[in-house]
């Protein structure tokens, strides 16, 4: 091995030593003479050559020949650039995996790397062991046969938490004695305890580290700033500017989880993080259950929200608008001031706000309630109704004769006024809150005085329902439970007219205690102390939220650090009255790239591909020999005029511009397509897939030609970036897992194509292993590929879709695989079955996309001889399946070309009936 080049047969290089000998031999032999017929030779007779020395081959020609021979020798020695390097050493091999959420993103590639290393160790007869740092065995590492370890590889999975430094240190200390080499697949993040293990491993033998240079992306827990939700996006390396798309996910009104909002955080070059702000309407905001970096499958890229993000919705209803202009006297002014920082306040009439189902309704001095039944029902469902007294309530007779269901107590007529100019006594202060009152513990400011209030009629329940009193014992705040909800009455006004209460901080405190204006803050360790939390939903390393199952509850102390661990995996934890989100990244967590000391060999996961140089060397030798041929001819005087031009042209023709011709022909075919019906497929860049697509569409074209009046010309492959789609009607798009996403310009073209009536048939070609969805790589790829397209809502194809009868009558749509349904544009919700008609009157127009995974192209594909390229099913059933696949293709093209024509056939009976009249 020389640098990055290795040789398959290095001993052949000895041949290079023979070069000087060859030089001498070549040098001694002069070039052969040209034999030439020439009548003037008689005039030459007797002429002597002036130069007596023998003619010799010039040195540069010799050099050329030497180079050619050297290139041949090197070429046949089989040079390989960036050869697969085995992990060095001969002893046992220990494979260490971080196994964190940061690994999840490319876990497949990592396992493939491990499998490679294990297979190699197996060939070399080295025992091996795998250790995942997030899942340490607890026992001493035991080296086993590499094959056995390889068999156990699938059980190693990434975890949503990170290694515990203490555990890692213990593991490092307990490493088996004796020499072994190690391969460490790092997740790319620096963390405590890494050095300890690294030193221990290096002490035992060679350490090779695989580390991906891609930055690790993470989301910290969301938090509120004003009305906006703020998210911190962090990454491990700052090189390069990037836009990080973050999606807010949550249930829609129908309860189906979907993307509610999306924002893009621009990460500047060099920046390790960016702040992302979501400004959402309260309705949406309360629905968000988690944020996720789009396209990254990793628990670190998911931030769960808990109750902390929910802002209560409070409806404020005040008695009347007759005091216009006196803002400070408005009954709701102080409430608004107290509530707006922590809650979303909605207004309007009572019937309107009831529809919005707020958490709390506050009524300031409202006596008569028209929608009493509705309101009562709402309270019984768990609503909190808070009422404030006031002149109107005092003047009315509500709750006088009997207890009003929407008032906690009966009221005495009139109320009382103390401390005024016409009354005895001083304004009353508030008594300290007794034990058992929700306000217990709130400090009572001395300067809060009550000068007027409504009085409660004494009754058996009054004492129980009183939760705050004045210093003289009269009730100030009363409350009663109604169903699941509660009705609270402040016996004073919500403005400063009757008391100084709204002016004091106590007012805010009391509202909070009533759980009216509370927003759960961050749980600090003090609040967590002594509590028990039960995992409700947990994240896996890939960022998927799953059921917690039978995970044991954890104590608040364990959660206090907000750092996930094996005992406390990230997820949602349910406590007594609230839920707590534990995210993979703590609130202050930064991501740092792991830097390895100079002595450790670091290899990227995406290693440079092996390049076999043999062909290049042989080609170079050929070129050198060609040049030698021309030079030798020129030197011998045989190369003149046309002959020279011919030789040079022939040499150049070897490297002709074939690509330009290919492009010309594609252009020509598109021009031809403009005047014909042509089936087109998207070139994926994968030669085999493209070949199958072309062959499949050719087969379908033949069937169309034979059976229908559609006479397509040869199918054409289109490059979404460069080709014009406007001339096409049908595009077959096979989705491969590693397909490159088109550029925004290409998407604009595709959307124009779809709007102008084109159709795309997406084929994930994986119906044999997967249903529809994101379960397979192709499915996930399809989701990302199709996201920027203007695609209407989809539904599994209904039984009466026009595709089922546009040419043939079909009920299933198999390709090479059968059984999976296909998805088409959803029927309009108002589609209904007309009287006497077999089908619904469905959507007007053509579904712009058909999505499925039945691998239709393979079923349709024929080769040049017209023979089927791939088997479908078995026996007669397989033939039938292929026939139905063709019929589906015919129906599809008919649907594209004729639209809802067959849908209109629904009216044929009616038309015939009219014609008969």
Binding site for another protein (CB under 8 A): 30-45, 47, 49-51, 54-55, 635-638, 640
Other Cβ atoms less than 10 A from the Cβ of 236: the count is 20
Distances (CA, A) of 780 to 107, 368, 750, 772: 16, 58, 20, 10
Q: In a 3-state reduction of DSSP, which class is residue 768?
A: coil
If the CB atoms of residues 245 and 628 are measured against another protein, the closer one turns out to be 628
**Paired tokens of 14:** 């000895």
Residue with tokens 């140089």, as numbered in its chain: 613
For another protein, the closer CB: 629 or 908? 629
Nearer to another protein, 61 or 314 (CB): 61
- In the bound state with another protein, the residue whose beta carbon lies nearer, of 44 and 598, is 44
Q: Say which residue the tokens 């089908």 belong to.
A: 839
Q: Are 159 and 101 in contact (CB under 8 A)?
A: yes
Shortest reach from residue 634's CB to another protein, in Å: 9
Q: How many CA within 13 A on the CB side of residue 200?
A: 18
Q: Which residue is listed with tokens 């961050």?
A: 522
The torsion region of residue 513 among left (phi > 0), alpha (psi -120 to 50) and beta comes to alpha
**Residues listed for the chain:** 917
Dihedral sign (CA 490, 493, 496, 500)? negative
Nearer to another protein, 53 or 917 (CB): 53
- 564-566-571 Cα angle (round to 5): 45
The sign one gets for the Cα dihedral 674, 679, 684, 685 is: negative
- Please tell me the distance from the alpha carbon of residue 191 to that of residue 218, in angstroms, as a whole number: 15
* DSSP-assigned letters across all residues of 693-711: HHHHHHHHHHHHHHHSS--
Nearer to another protein by Cβ, of 561 and 637: the residue is 637
Q: Are 827 and 795 in contact (CB under 8 A)?
A: yes
Q: For another protein, which is the closer residue by CB, 56 or 589?
A: 56
43 or 401: CB nearest another protein: 43
At its nearest, how many Å lie between another protein and the CB of residue 642?
Answer: 9
Give me the least distance between CB of 690 and another protein, in Å please. Answer: 49
Residue among 440, 431, 453, 442 at smallest CA distance from 499? 453
Between the alpha carbon of residue 908 and those of residues 496, 798, 802, 808, the distances in Å are: 76, 21, 15, 18
Q: Which C-beta is closer to another protein: that of 119 or that of 646?
A: 646
Q: Nearest-CA neighbor of 150 among 173, 110, 121, 125?
A: 121
Q: Given the complex with another protein, which of 31 and 546 has the nearer CB atom?
A: 31
Nearer of residues 29 and 356 to another protein, judged by Cβ: 29
Smallest distance, another protein to C-beta of residue 721, A: 51
Unique residue bearing structure tokens 């084929």:
763
Q: Quote the least distance from Cβ 623 to another protein, whole Å.
A: 24
Secondary structure letter of residue 815 according to DSSP? S
Q: How does DSSP assign 602-614, residue by residue?
A: EE-SSPPPPEE-H
Q: How far is the CB of 643 from another protein (least distance, A)?
A: 11
- Interior angle at CA 379, CA 378 and CA 384, nearest 5: 120
Nearest to 387 by CA among 286, 283, 492, 502: 492
How do strand 79-81 and strand 5-7 relate by DSSP bridges?
A: antiparallel
Distance of CA 32 to the CA centre of its chain: 72
* Closer residue to another protein, CB minimum distance, 56 or 519: 56
């Amino acid at each position: 091995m020389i640098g990055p080049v290795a040789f398959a047969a290095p001993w052949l290089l000895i041949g290079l030593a023979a070069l000087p000998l060859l030089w001498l031999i070549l040098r001694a032999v002069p070039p052969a003479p040209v034999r030439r017929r020439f009548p003037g030779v008689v005039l030459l007779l007797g002429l002597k050559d002036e130069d007596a020395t023998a003619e010799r081959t010039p040195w540069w020609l010799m050099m050329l020949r030497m180079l050619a021979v050297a290139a041949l020798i090197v070429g046949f020695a089989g040079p390989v650039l960036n050869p697969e390097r085995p992990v060095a050493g001969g002893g046992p091999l220990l494979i260490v995996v971080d196994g964190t959420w940061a690994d999840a993103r490319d876990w497949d590639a990592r396992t493939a790397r491990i499998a490679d290393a294990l297979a190699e160790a197996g060939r070399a007869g080295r025992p091996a062991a795998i250790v995942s740092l997030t899942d340490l065995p607890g026992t001493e590492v035991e080296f086993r046969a590499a094959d056995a370890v390889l068999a156990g590889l699938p059980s190693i999975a990434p975890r949503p938490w990170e290694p515990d430094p203490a555990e890692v240190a213990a593991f490092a200390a307990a490493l088996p004695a004796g020499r072994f080499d190690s391969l460490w697949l790092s997740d790319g993040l620096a963390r405590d305890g890494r050095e300890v293990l690294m030193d221990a491993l290096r002490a035992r033998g060679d350490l090779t580290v695989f580390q991906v240079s891609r930055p690790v992306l993470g989301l910290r827990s969301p938090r509120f700033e004003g009305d906006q939700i703020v998210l911190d996006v962090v990454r491990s390396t700052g090189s390069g500017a990037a836009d990080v798309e973050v999606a807010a996910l949550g249930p829609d009104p129908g309860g189906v989880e979907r993307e509610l909002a999306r924002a893009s955080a621009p990460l500047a070059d060099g920046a390790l993080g960016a702040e992302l702000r979501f400004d959402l309407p309260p309705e949406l905001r309360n629905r968000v259950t988690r944020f996720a970096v789009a396209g990254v499958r990793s628990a670190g890229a998911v931030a769960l929200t808990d109750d902390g993000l929910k802002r209560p919705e409070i409806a404020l209803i005040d008695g009347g608008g007759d005091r216009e202009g006196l803002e400070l006297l408005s009954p709701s002014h102080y409430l608004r001031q107290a509530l707006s920082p922590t809650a979303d306040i909605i207004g309007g009439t009572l019937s309107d706000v009831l529809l919005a189902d707020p958490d709390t309704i506050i009524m300031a001095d409202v006596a008569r309630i028209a929608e009493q039944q509705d309101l009562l029902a709402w309270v019984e469902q768990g609503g909190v109704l808070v009422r404030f007294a006031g002149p109107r309530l005092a003047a009315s007779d509500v709750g006088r004769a009997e207890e009003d269901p929407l008032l906690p107590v009966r009221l005495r007529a009139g109320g009382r006024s103390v401390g005024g100019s016409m009354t005895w006594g001083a304004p009353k202060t508030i008594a300290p809150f007794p034990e058992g009152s929700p306000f217990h513990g709130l400090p009572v400011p001395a300067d809060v005085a009550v000068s007027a209030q409504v009085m409660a009629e004494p009754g058996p329940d009054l004492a129980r329902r009183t939760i705050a009193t004045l210093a003289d014992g009269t009730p100030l705040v009363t409350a009663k439970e109604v169903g699941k909800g509660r009705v609270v009455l402040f016996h004073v006004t919500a403005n400063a007219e009757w008391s100084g209460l709204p002016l004091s901080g106590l007012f805010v405190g009391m509202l909070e205690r009533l759980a009216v204006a509370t927003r759960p803050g961050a749980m600090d360790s003090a609040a967590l102390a002594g509590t028990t939390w039960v995992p409700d939903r947990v994240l896996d390393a890939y960022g998927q939220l799953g059921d917690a199952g039978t995970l044991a509850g954890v104590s608040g102390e364990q959660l206090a650090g907000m750092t996930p661990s094996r005992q406390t995996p990230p997820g949602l934890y349910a406590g007594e009255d609230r839920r707590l989100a534990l995210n993979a990244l703590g609130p202050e967590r930064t991501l740092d790239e792991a830097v390895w000391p100079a002595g450790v060999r670091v290899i990227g996961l995406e290693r440079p591909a092996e390049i076999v140089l043999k062909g290049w060397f042989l080609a170079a030798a050929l070129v050198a020999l060609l040049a030698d041929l021309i030079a030798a001819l020129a030197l011998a005087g045989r190369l003149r005029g046309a002959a020279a031009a011919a030789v040079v042209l022939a040499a150049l023709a070897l490297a002709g511009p074939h690509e330009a011709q290919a492009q010309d022909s594609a252009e020509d075919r598109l021009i031809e397509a403009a005047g014909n019906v042509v089936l087109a497929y998207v070139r994926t860049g994968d030669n085999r897939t493209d070949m199958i697509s072309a062959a499949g569409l050719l087969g379908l074209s033949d069937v169309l030609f034979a059976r229908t009046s559609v006479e397509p010309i040869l199918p054409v492959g289109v490059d979404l970036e460069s080709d014009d789609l406007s001339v096409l009607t049908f595009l077959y798009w096979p989705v491969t897992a590693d397909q490159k996403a088109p550029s925004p310009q290409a998407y604009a073209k595709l959307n124009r194509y779809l709007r102008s009536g084109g159709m795309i048939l997406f084929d994930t070609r994986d119906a044999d292993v997967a249903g529809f969805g994101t379960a397979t790589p192709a499915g996930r790829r399809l989701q990302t590929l199709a996201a920027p397209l203007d695609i209407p809502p989809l539904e599994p194809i209904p039984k009466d879709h026009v595709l089922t009868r546009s040419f043939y009558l079909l009920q299933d749509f198999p390709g090479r695989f059968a059984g999976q349904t296909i998805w088409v544009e959803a029927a309009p919700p108002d589609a209904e079955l007309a009287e006497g008609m077999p089908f619904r009157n469905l959507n007007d127009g053509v579904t712009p996309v058909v999505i499925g995974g039945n691998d239709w192209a393979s079923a349709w594909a024929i080769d040049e001889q017209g023979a089927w390229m791939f088997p479908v099913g078995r026996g007669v059933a397989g033939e039938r399946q292929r026939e139905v696949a063709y019929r589906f293709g015919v129906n599809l093209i008919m649907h594209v070309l004729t639209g809802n024509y067959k849908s209109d056939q629904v009216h044929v009976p009616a038309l015939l009936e009219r014609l008969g009249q």
